Chains A and B, each alone.
Chain A
Amino acid sequence: MKENVASATVFTLLLFFNTCLLNGQSPPGKPEIFKCRSPNKETFTCWWRPGADGGLPTNYSLAYHKEGEKFIHECPDYVTGGPNSCHFGKQYTSMWRTYIITVNATNEMGSTLSDEIYVDVTYIVEPDPPLNVVVEVKQPEDKKPYLWIKWSPPTLIDLKTGWFTLLYEIQLKPENAEEWETHFAGQQTDFKVLSLHPGQKYLVQVRCKPDHGYWSSWSPGYSIQIPSEFTMKDTTMWISVAVLSAVICLIIVWAVALKGYSMATCIFPPVPGPKIKGFDAHLLEKGKSEELLSALGCQDFPPTSDYEDLLVEYLEVDDSEDQHLMSVHSKEHPSQGMKPTYLDPDTDSGRGSCDSPSLLSEKCEEPQASPSTFCAPEVIEKPENPETTHTWDPQCRSMEGKTPCFHAGGSKCSTWPLPQPSQHNPRSSYHNIGDVCELAVRPTGAPATLLDKAGKDALKSSQISKPREEGKAAQQREVESFHSKTDKDTHWLLPQEKTPFGSTKPVDYVEIHKVNKDGALSLLPKQGNNSNQPEKPRDPENSKEYAKVSRVMDNNILVLVPDLHTKNVACSEESAKEAPPSLEQNQAEKGLADFPATPSNCRLQLGGLEYLDPACFTHSFH
Chain B
Amino acid sequence: MAIHKSLFASLLICLLFQISHGATKERLFSDLEKGALEVTAKPSREGVLDAGIDKLSITWKLSSTATKEAEFTTIKVKLCYAPVSQVDRPWRKTENELFKDKSCPHKIITRAYDKSPQSFEYTLERDIPTGTYFVRAYAVDAKDHEVAFGQSTNEAKSTNLFSVQAISGRHKSLDIASVCFSVFSVLALLVFFVNEKRKAKIEQSK
- Chain B associates with chain A: no
